[in-house]
Structure 1
Amino acid sequence: MLRAFLLLALFPSLLPALDTTKLEAIKPAMEAAVKAKQAAGIVTLVMEKGKVVHHEAVGLANISQGKAMGKDALFWIASMTKSINATAVMILVEEGKLSLDEPAAKWLPALGEAKLADGTAPEKAITLRHLLSHTAGIAFPPRKATDGASSLKAYVNELLKAPLAFQPGSDYEYGFGPTVSGRIVEIASGLSYADFLRTRIFEPLGMKDTGFYPDDALRARIPGTYTMNEDTHELQRAFNPFVTSDAEVRRTPEPGGGLFSTAADMGRFYALIAAGGELDGVRLLTAKSIQEMTTPTTAGDRPLPYAFGWQVNRPDQRVCGAMPVGSFGHGGAFATNGWVDAEHGIVTVFLVQNVLVPDSGKPRDAFQKIVMEAAGVEVKPPAKKKATK
């Protein structure tokens, strides 16, 4: 993977170019998905070698009002936030303010007091490597424990009152390890979490619309969230817990899933990652750090399609089946997705706001398939696992 980053950075002209005429198939494919009620509206974006080569919006942002979806629509990106959170951690690792493998209790002492369900101390200290890869044993807590927390500090304090689900490093459970790592970013940097992301990532990259607290102007660009009515089979409005009653009502920033963003903003973030940590003269990370961050990890001896805040396509574990092995990205709870094929310098961003809408993944797969065909990249079906006796 490091070779891919270096190839793109040093010899971008050697990489094959996307056939932009083939990308013209994206819009009608997404319109067909809207017609099939797989989403009310969709925004898609493709970048190649740091340049936007496709950016379209189809369908409606609000069905009852007949409001068209705009390319600048602001989406709750949910767990796509995790990749940005991991980037924040790696920035501080490069600066020597954090370490992936030292006990994370060095910065957050409460982690050193964590216990298993039987009251015993874990055999291994929890590290940032564990926290970022969901292998720390910090699982989902009762929702009432964290609702209404006044700060990320208070939020994490409540999270850490729950016992560990397993020995750190021995297993995998998608949970709140990344949230805890976000609190460590605050401690190590001396900034609030939202301010660190704003000043160290969003402002340098020109991600002007990305953040935890959209103002009134940005809120007007948030599309409706939709679910499928099981009786009528029509799309109907659904609740989005991250869209508060007004701009002055602010949720605690959630490093694991609280950001709002646009396709254009997320495209710039992913393009920087695809290019080995630098975009338009702005460098946030080294290629070595990105390789570390996007290399899939293990739980015990079990290989996982997960790295530090990034899902990764392994040969026999493909999160995005239309994208090649070795590519990486992350999805969100409302069917959003951002994906990076660093080998070819390609970024895809797919944004909708769906809750339990049948076949939500089909338009994403169709979109990514068209992009890969335009790139001339053959994406083989996932390797079948050998049957065990």
Structure 2
Amino acid sequence: MLQPRLALAALLLAPVTALPVPAAAQTVAKPVKIDKARIDRMLAAMVKDKRAVGVSAMVWQGGRERYFGAAGLADREANRPMTRDTLVQIFSMTKPVTGVALMQLWEQGKFGLDDPVSRYIPEFADARVYAGKDAAGVPLYRPAARPMTIRDLLRHTGGLTYGGDDNPVDALFRTADPLNLDNDLATLTKRIAGLPLAFDPGTQWRYSASVDIQGRLVEIFSGQTLEAYVRQHVFDPLGMKDSGWTQPADRFGRLAIGYEKTKDGALVRLPEERVKANNFAGHRLTMGGAGIVAPIDDYMRFARMLLNHGTLDGARALKPSTVRLMSTDQLDPRITERYWLPNKGAVGFGFDFAVRVSPPKSAEEARGAVGEFFWDGALSTLFWVDPANDLAAVFFVQRFPFDGTLHHDIREAVYGAGYQGPPGD
């Protein structure tokens, strides 16, 4: 069972499940039809099968809400049901929010995508790369072949890690403890910048703390804290009134509690002291890659903005061309080492989104359409945007370890078991 202080790296490193989006999604004459009863049955089965204590899902399609449903409990011990007002820790679904904030500043000309990170954070200059061990088992390091760029940060190709693997670079990450909740983003960034890289920038894809560095860049370019910038330029304009890294203390009673599946199959309540102290009583660390608490309606507003090419209800968050850029596969075909990304199906990676590049190839792969983009969170939350079907979906649950079967099944409920994507995929 997770300890109260939290195995934060374990939560952040939990493989995510979502679907991708290429450059231009196709228009479908007959979009997928939402079957409310089918989704209801799937949510109920997730709870009945004891894969989750509580779940909820929302689907927006064709300009209106096509589905909302919930099953089970947000707090089993208090017998409090899962509702659309329930607040959920979204963990890595924070990453696309930070990416949108950074790309707003790119649209303003604050930086270039191929600028070296060291131009704005000098501690990243003269980066070293882990080069194995000598005969005595001592780690070797060499200069990086090229500087890490902001584009690398956006697509997880910078050589950074999350500290969760068994190698000298990750061991140094754990010792540096950059994700300590007592750090601010400036301290987090300095600690990471002082570490060797796991590989030369641009040569591999590895999930990492790079979005936390993105968050620090938002602060540098805007002159505001990440939280203040996102509140002013993302949450408030989009009407995401209950979302944030910091929540009023009186909202804690709306929080969905996390549950861990043990080896014997039981779902055991995770300690909530950390989230109560950090998110509901003020905090120091505002991670770019995690930490937002939100209700499902709020996150759907974020997804709808992306589906609508950067605009929602008259508020422009991004230009349509910027959304296309972010939701287009950015990985060079020569980047063949992709960590656990292939576990998410036939996907590439854009800027803070996975992107589906070909149709599902087996019954085991999650359903989806080419051109879809998505991301998920450590407690098994998920959202995706499917331009081909004019559809956005959000799935909320608080279950650890990360369970990709939940994502497979909610997608099957939305699309149908045999869905292969629109003609031409």
What's the TM-score bracket when you normalise by the shorter of the two chains? 0.7 to 0.9
2: CA distance, partners of 1:199 / 1:187: 16
Structure 2 CA distance, aligned partners of 1:363 and 1:320? 12
Q: Name the structure 1 match of 2:95.
A: 82
1:121 Cα offset (Å): 2.8
Matched, 1:348 2:408: no
How far has the Cα of 1:4 moved from its partner?
A: 4.1
Residue 180 of structure 1: how far off its partner (Å): 0.8
Deviations, residues 195-239 of structure 1 (Å, cap 9, x unaligned): 1111110000000111101222322111111112323x3211024
SS of equivalent to 1:245: helix
Name the count of aligned residue pairs. Answer: 369
Q: CA distance change for structure 1 residues 164 and 144 in 2, over 3 Å: closer, same or farther? A: closer
> What is the rounded CA distance, in whole Å, between the counterparts of 2:376 and 2:273 in structure 1?
18
Root-mean-square deviation (CA, aligned residues, Å) is 2.6
Specify the code of the residue in structure 2 equivalent to 1:275. Answer: N
Q: How far does residue 267 in structure 1 lie from its aligned partner after superposition? A: 0.7
| Residues 234, 15 of structure 1: alpha-carbon distance in 2 compared, 3 angstrom cutoff | same
The separation in 1 between residues aligned to 2:48 and 2:293, in whole angstroms, is: 26
Cα separation, partners in 2 of 1:154 and 1:25, compared to 1, 3 Å = same
How do 1:243-258 residues align onto structure 2 when only pairs under 5 Å count? 243-245=275-277, 247-258=280-291
Task: Tell me the distance in 2 between the aligned counterparts of 1:241 and 1:158.
Answer: 26
**Aligned twin of 1:178:** 211
Query: Helix, strand or coil for the counterpart of 2:370?
Result: coil
Match of 1:135 among 142, 157, 163: 157
Q: Is the CA contact 1:2–1:287 (under 8 Å) kept in the aligned structure 2?
A: no
1:56 aligns with 2:69: yes
The letter of the residue matching 1:76 is Q
Question: What is the correspondence of 1:90-169 to structure 2 with a 5 Å cutoff?
Answer: 90-117=103-130, 118-140=140-162, 141-142=173-174, 145-146=177-178, 147-169=180-202
Match of 1:158, SS state, is helix
Corresponding residue to 1:204 among 230, 237, 248: 237
State how far apart, in whole Å, the 1-side matches of 2:250 and 2:107 are.
36
Find the counterpart in structure 2 of residue 297 from structure 1. Answer: 330
- TM-score after normalising by structure 1: 0.87
1:47, distance to aligned residue in structure 2 (A): 0.7
Shift of residue 370 of structure 1? 2.6
| Number of the residue aligned with 2:320 | 287
Contact 1:206 1:265 in 2 (8 A): yes
**Rounded Cα–Cα distance in structure 2 between residues aligned with 1:241 and 1:119:** 40
- The residue aligned with 2:309 is 276
Partners of 2:29 and 2:315 in 1: how far apart?
22
Match of 1:387? none
Stretches of structure 1 lacking an aligned partner (at least 5 in a row): 8-13, 384-389
Question: Using the alignment, how far apart are the partners of 1:177 and 1:371 within structure 2?
Answer: 32
Residue 248 of structure 1, CA deviation: 2.2
Partner of 1:10: none
Structure 1 residues 212 and 328 mapped into 2: Cα distance closer, same or farther (>3 Å)?
A: same
TM-score, structure 2 length as denominator?
A: 0.80
Cα–Cα, structure 1 residues 320 and 216, in superposed 2: closer, same or farther, change >3 Å?
Answer: farther
The percentage of aligned residue pairs carrying the same residue is 28
Name the structure 1 match of 2:252.
Answer: 219
Q: How far off is 1:298 after superposition?
A: 2.1
Q: What is residue 312 of structure 1 aligned with on the other side?
A: 355
How far did residue 362 of structure 1 move? 2.9
Task: For 1:128, give the aligned amino acid.
Answer: I
Q: What amino acid sits opposite 2:177 in the alignment?
A: A
Equivalence for 2:86: 73
Q: CA deviation at 1:176?
A: 1.0
Deviations 1:158-190 (A, max 9, x none): 111211111110112111111111101100011
Q: Once the 2 structures are TM-superposed, how far is the Cα of residue 44 of structure 1 from its aligned partner? A: 0.4
Q: Does 1:379 align with 2:411?
A: no
